Structure 1
Amino acid sequence: MPLEYAGAGVLAEHVAVRTAVGLFDVSHLGKIAVTGSGAADFVNRCLTADLGKITPGQAQYSLLCNDDGGVVDDLIAYLAGPDEVLLIPNAANCAEVASLLAAAAPEGVAVENRHEAYAVFAVQGPHSDEVLEAAGLPTGHAYMSFARAELDGVPLTVCRTGYTGERGYELVVPSEQAGLVWDALVAAGEPYGIQLAGLAARDTLRTEMGYPLHGQDISPDISPVQARLGWAVGWKKDAFFGDAALRAEKEATPNRLLWGLRAVGRGIPRPGMLVRDDEGHEIGSVTSGTFSPTLKTGIALALLDPRFVLGEQVAVDVRRRREAFTIVKPPFVTPGVREP
């Protein structure tokens, strides 16, 4: 995926997704097949979310944690049935996730890295339904559910998921036919103003929604509790990777919490920038930061000392200046609602 496409740029791509429809090639995402007798139960004993709360044909956001409760990766689990689960992890972590699961898998359960076998395309935006319908693909199924389909004879999976906050779908396509499906989506989207979108727009869109990025907002050193992802943890399950550490941290007070920051002035925050209180003391750091094309101001996610709360004002060291920011609760924008 390029940072941006020639002739458009990150701002145009971002606006297209918020107002019309964008098409992302996210084939860099990993693909791991877990199959065999009891495959779903095995996955449920490893990942944080309770896979037992969904049924075949549904997907679930979940986390794979280490023994200390840090996040090895966040991923989507596609539940095909009790003996088949497809995992979509982040590209950089695919091999590690596959290795950890394979090492823990009982006899009869196979864990296969299928990264090269499939491409993944994301159709995101208010007109995503119209684009898929024009291509002859299913639409309208519930959020975090998926449907099997064909496009010009190519078998694929259409899931109501995305990383932008807008209505949208992600398509899992056999790699050998990926070009055919891509061209069909582009053609179907032309009447609706479809715009190819790259990595930079993907980042501004997900940051506006407060969606975490692994390696920045979550990592092996940042737990789901600190990142406010406790909703993706099945606390009533008997066990999962890292459960003891996470349960202990949940009962105690975490030493930092993830908040949103919105610029008071013109400062544009970037990852790694220090956050300070009104006396200049360091209280945390920015994990993700950017200019919001929707709000026309700087926004950030930041891990802060837990004593700081919603509505307080803090300072961020931006290019050797201390810029004022207000602590807010993401998302920064509501899809379909635009601020002037």
Structure 2
Amino acid sequence: MADTEDLLRSPIHDRHEALGAKFAEFGGWSMPLEYPTGIVKEHTAVRESVGIFDVSHLGKAMVSGPGAADYVNATLTNDLGKIRHGKAQYTLCCDEETGGVVDDLIAYFHNDSHVLLVPNAANTAEVVRRLVEKAPEGLTIRNHHTEFAVFAVQGTKSDEVLAKVGLPVGHEYMSFVEANFGDAGVVVCRTGYTGERGYELIVRNNAAGALWDAILAAGEEFGILPCGLGSRDTLRTEMGYPLHGQDISLDVTPNQARLGWAVGWKKDAFWGRDAILAEKEEGPQRTLRGLLAVGRGIPRPGMSVSLARDVPLCEITSGTFSPTLKKGIGLALVPTFVDPEAELGVDVRGRREIFQCVKLPFVDTSVRES
């Protein structure tokens, strides 16, 4: 781990300290892992009411100039041509040769000349580097990583909380609205990483503290809790959402990660197209699957997964205790020859615990999210 003095900090780091947050390193940033309330209570607040996360470590990069949208569409996997102004799209930046995932990110389509990209913290510089390297003359790719804060307000009461703050709510999932909080501009995005109804807010650093304070005050009557990245991880794992660096990486393709839905298969070009298309036609040798504990075992990344006691298959990529199900859950890149409903063993600290392969997500929030 990097020395804490070398880590970047959120513009509201002092507020997290005042709330008693426990910090951890995430992609070169010192970010709240949990607050004194604890991960389980923070997780439950999001599932049952509302929570707020500071995710300012996420990257922000703007592709600008004539043909910006066309350039993004020719490089990233998803088909940007299928969305319009004010819409967002989950997409992937893949390696040109291997098709491995450099990063997964959200593209915000402002107009044909302006596309905002929000990659993961650790990969922002690499995504920007690759885009700059291939950009045609007249296009500008600017890395705004440290200039904006990002807050995620997630949960069934997120609309009520943001409405009290005076921000627009109720727009379509994967869309965004540009609004104002006082004199500050705020991009209000109907996106999130928890599976619950919610919003992500992008605001300049100088207005971040006031917005954070206003949201916490407005959410008090709904039981809002500040939530750390520990509960964000348990929430996303319950949904089966992959995390770059664990479930997806340069060694994992969209086909293997079950992210083919984020690939514009009919497009003429995107980075890694030939390799990804060839693998799709042949069939991937492994796929990301959900594993649900039959007993009391809690899986953790790196634990060995086996079909029989002495036949190792793969390793857990993401694993945790599910506060909603009260069971251990995990993700693993399981060989495709394994039956989709097989029982597998996981070596949990020297004990072989049985896990059932299950269809993702582990928790169905579709009714609440709509």
User: Is the shorter-chain TM-score for this pair beyond 0.5, marking a shared fold?
Assistant: yes
Pick from 80, 83, 104 the counterpart of residue 54 of structure 1: 83
What is the letter of the counterpart of residue 47 of structure 2? R
- 2:63 is the counterpart of 1:34: yes
What is the letter of the counterpart of residue 194 of structure 2? T
- 2:156 is the counterpart of 1:126: yes
SS of corresponding position for 1:235: coil
Deviation digits for residues 232-259 of structure 1, max 9, x if unmatched? 0000000100111000110112121110
Which range is displaced more, 203-212 or 177-186?
177-186
Q: Percent identity?
A: 62
Partner of 2:106: 76
Q: Which runs of 4+ in 1 moved over 3 A?
A: none
SS of corresponding position for 2:32: coil
Which range is displaced more, 220-229 or 329-338?
329-338
What is the letter of the counterpart of residue 11 of structure 1? V
SS of corresponding position for 2:298: coil
* Equivalent pair of 1:315/1:325 in contact (CA under 8 Å): yes
Partner of 2:361: 331
Pick from 38, 43, 53 the counterpart of residue 24 of structure 1: 53
Partner of 2:200: 170
Deviation digits for residues 275-330 of structure 1, max 9, x if unmatched? 10135301121110000000000000011110112221110111011100000011
What is the letter of the counterpart of residue 280 of structure 1? D
User: Separation in 2 of the partners of 1:238 and 1:146?
Assistant: 28
Matches within 5 A, 1:72-221: 72-221=102-251
User: Separation in 2 of the partners of 1:101 and 1:336?
Assistant: 35
User: Separation in 2 of the partners of 1:314 and 1:231?
Assistant: 27
Partner of 2:336: 306
User: Separation in 2 of the partners of 1:25 and 1:115?
Assistant: 14
Partner of 2:287: 257
Which range is displaced more, 306-315 or 143-152?
306-315
RMSD: 1.1
Deviation digits for residues 150-196 of structure 1, max 9, x if unmatched? 11221110000000000000000011111111111111111111100
Partner of 1:292: 322
What is the letter of the counterpart of residue 100 of structure 2? G
Deviation digits for residues 200-255 of structure 1, max 9, x if unmatched? 00000000000000000000001110000000000000010011100011011212
Deviation digits for residues 112-155 of structure 1, max 9, x if unmatched? 00011111000000000000100011000000000011112211
User: Separation in 1 of the partners of 2:138 and 2:324?
Assistant: 50
Partner of 1:4: 34
Structure 1, unaligned stretches of length 5 or more?
Answer: none
- 2:66 is the counterpart of 1:44: no
* Equivalent pair of 2:309/2:345 in contact (CA under 8 Å): no
Partner of 2:275: 245
User: Separation in 1 of the partners of 2:366 and 2:33?
Assistant: 25
* Equivalent pair of 1:143/1:161 in contact (CA under 8 Å): yes
What is the letter of the counterpart of residue 97 of structure 1? V
Report the count of equivalent residues.
337
What is the letter of the counterpart of residue 265 of structure 1? G
Partner of 1:229: 259
* Equivalent pair of 1:18/1:336 in contact (CA under 8 Å): no
User: Separation in 1 of the partners of 2:182 and 2:213?
Assistant: 11
Pick from 264, 270, 274 the counterpart of residue 300 of structure 2: 270
User: Separation in 2 of the partners of 1:151 and 1:194?
Assistant: 20
User: Separation in 2 of the partners of 1:142 and 1:273?
Assistant: 39
SS of corresponding position for 2:276: helix
User: Separation in 1 of the partners of 2:350 and 2:198?
Assistant: 40
What is the letter of the counterpart of residue 42 of structure 1? Y
Deviation for aligned residue 1:336: 7.3
